[in-house]
A and B are shown apart, each in its own frame.
Chain A
Amino acid sequence: MVSLEIRHGRLLRQRWLIIAALAGATLLCLVLDLLAGPADLTLRQVMRGVFDPASLDPRDQIILWQVRLPDALIALAVGAALGLAGVESQTILDNPLASPFTLGVSSAAVLGASVALVLSPALPFMGQAAILPVTALLFALGSGGLILAAIRVLGGERDTVILFGIAILFLCNALTAALFYVADAEATQQIVFWTIGNLTKAGWVEVVIVTACFFAVLPFSLRHVWLLTLLRGGEAQARSSGINVDRLRTLVILRTSILAAFAVCFVGTIAFVGLVGPHIARLLLGEDHRTLIPGAALCGALILSGASVLSKTLIPGVIIPVGILTAAVGVPALMALLVLQRRRP
């Protein structure tokens, strides 16, 4: 009989191979995303242009470096941030329906964006273009802050946290509806457009900010892989093993709020990625968070990058808002995996 050490080693190697395959697929999607668009850039031009921008003519250089690369990279960064936030939310709330937006972060961001679009507030040291994302970010972080304050006052019980998050979500929705009521037609249309999610407004500053946020949070998530894995055995087991579950929940909610807030403030609320990315990763990689956390981030990046490619290629000459297409990429992948898992002996 093969020892448990060898069987476990094999399983781990298999999972790291899956992660490598996910990384490869994500890279492929990134290249496809750089190729997609009305201007006919060849693979050779894109590759040369990435490593040697001067080799392209000025028009193609602008298309690649000012339009396509920021769009493609923000898709990866936002997708990875939402995937990471989603997997941590689902584990810490022990709820398969949890996503980065369960605790009202997205609704608060929509409210912030609506405030910016309808009331046009003036913020110190800030140009008009920065007001919308900054307001959305502040509102989203504010909702995370409210949840953390509630945990401090009411305790960190899972149900209390979810209920409070849902209360914030409904409050923000109601306030946004009130703004809709007083907004003119143009502002209303802009709010609706923002809530769908759109990658095309991102530039290099946004790419750097979201990427930096993701890589700043990731080490803290990886530090908790054992605790999060243990939590999948049930909260009672974790508590009786001496794990301070309430403290862990506070830290995870802080992380997911920051990730979700930064992910949505520039590109609008992109639903579904933070919910389905982690589920696909769980189906492929199981519950060991050593592999699940990087896997969920890669699945999120892959779904959003795939949706970005589709958004540029489905209707030639038209860029469909990416938020409409995330489900078109994620649902078939999830369904296929569920069917394959059922058929497995």
Chain B
Amino acid sequence: MTHLSVSGVCARYGRKQVLFDVTLPDLEDGHFIGILGPNGSGKSTLIRCLSRELSCQGSIVLDGVSLASQSSRALWEKVATMPQSPPAPSALFPMELLWSICRALGMALSDRALSQRIEEVLALLGLDDQALAPLSTLSGGQRQRVGLALCLIRDPDLLLLDEPTAALDLHWRLTVLELIRRRLAHRGGVVIANLHEVDLAARYCDGVVVLGHGKVVAAGPPAEVLTKEVFARVYHVEAELHPGTDNRPSLELIRPLSSQHRPKHDSDPSGS
């Protein structure tokens, strides 16, 4: 049973502090949390802290063990991260990329078992025909799915996704998020995903955390967190929210708010 607790996370790039005392709700097995917020709000930095790619202050505890004290091997057996940028468009094949990550991380699988697992994961993401095609011939969306395959092949307990649907078409956005939900229901674990599609977060996530200027603005179930006020304050847009199915809000975006209509208390804690 996976359990993740994140509290008081602060991070900086050089002298500029970008995360201020970020605390997430305790995440239990099967939870899918969406991190929302405008550009530069600290979403990617939070993912980099959670994956230990960026050193930070605060407490990140996975299954009772601090992430900071875990050995690299133990960490990468449990945690997989999908970065914002998809795999580079090189002459490498998706099959080779997946194969090399499994071997580089020392996964104990025979060549046959590994081939079958790669085939399964690529098929799940609609990439069976591209398995032996150079990454340079794949579209941005296909490469983004290869990036997700790189995480899924490792079967991690904690899956950290930085804008996993940004380059995908409508069909694959829904397919990928449904795949994540099905995986959670089937094998458990915790998923944290940075998302810009607020409507998809409302539809698929168990909870959302809204970041603004590196601080948690709101956190909780989508129906409670996604309010008109939050949209005005964080995204500077006017939005209407209607009750949808399963008590999940349905979003209607009206227009961007001009500077004089923005809420006055929206200040940048970093002073920049």
Does B28 sit within 8 A of A, measured CB to CB? no
Interface pair B53/A240, CB less than 8 Å apart: yes
Instruction: Please give, as numbers and ranges, the residues of chain B lying within 8 Å of A240 by CB-CB distance.
Output: 51, 53, 81-83
CA distance A239 to B115 in the complex (A): 24
Q: Nearest chain-A residue to B91 (Cβ)? A: A287
Q: Nearest chain-A residue to B95 (Cβ)? A: A8
Q: Which of A8, A233, A241, A244 has the most CB of B within 10 A?
A: A233
**B83-100 interface mask toward A, CB cutoff 8 Å, 1 = contact, 0 = none?**
111111011110111011
Interface extent on B, as a size class? Answer: 35 or more
CA distance A232 to B86 in the complex (A): 12
Interface pair A8/B115, CB less than 8 Å apart: yes
Q: Nearest chain-A residue to B131 (Cβ)? A: A4
**Min distance, Cβ A7 to any Cβ of chain B, angstroms:** 6
Indicate whether A233 sits within 8 Å of B132 (C-beta atoms), given known contacts A239-B53, A241-B104: no
**B127-150 interface mask toward A, CB cutoff 8 Å, 1 = contact, 0 = none?**
010011011000000000001001
Indicate whether A4 sits within 8 Å of B95 (C-beta atoms), given known contacts A233-B88, A242-B105: yes
Partner of A230, one of B51, B82, B93, B100: B100
Instruction: Please give, as numbers and ranges, the residues of chain B lying within 8 Å of A232 by CB-CB distance.
Output: 88, 90-92, 97
Does A282 sit within 8 A of B, measured CB to CB? yes
CA distance A288 to B75 in the complex (A): 26
CA distance A291 to B131 in the complex (A): 18
Interface residues of A in 199-241 (CB under 8 A from B): 225-227, 229-230, 232-234, 236-237, 239-241
Interface pair B92/A233, CB less than 8 Å apart: yes
Instruction: Please give, as numbers and ranges, the residues of chain B lying within 8 Å of A239 by CB-CB distance.
Output: 53, 83
Interface pair B76/A282, CB less than 8 Å apart: no
Q: Nearest chain-B residue to A228 (Cβ)? A: B100
Interface pair B91/A242, CB less than 8 Å apart: no
Q: Nearest chain-B residue to A7 (Cβ)? A: B132
Does A57 sit within 8 A of B, measured CB to CB? no
Does A17 sit within 8 A of B, measured CB to CB? no
CA distance A241 to B100 in the complex (A): 11
A sample of 27 cross-chain residue pairs with beta-carbon separation below 8 angstroms, ordered by A number, consists of A3-B115, A4-B131, A4-B132, A5-B115, A5-B119, A8-B132, A227-B100, A229-B99, A232-B88, A232-B91, A234-B86, A234-B88, A236-B83, A236-B84, A237-B88, A241-B150, A242-B51, A242-B72, A242-B105, A243-B104, A244-B72, A286-B92, A286-B93, A287-B90, A287-B91, A287-B92, A288-B93
A-contacting residues of B (Cβ < 8 Å)? 51, 53, 72, 75-76, 80-88, 90-93, 95-97, 99-101, 103-105, 111-112, 115-116, 118-119, 122, 128, 131-132, 134-135, 147, 150
B-contacting residues of A (Cβ < 8 Å)? 3-5, 7-8, 11, 94, 225-227, 229-230, 232-234, 236-237, 239-244, 282, 286-288
Ranked nearest first, the 10 interchain pairs of A and B with the lowest CB-CB distance are A234-B88, A5-B115, A226-B104, A229-B100, A242-B76, A287-B92, A233-B87, A4-B119, A240-B81, A240-B83
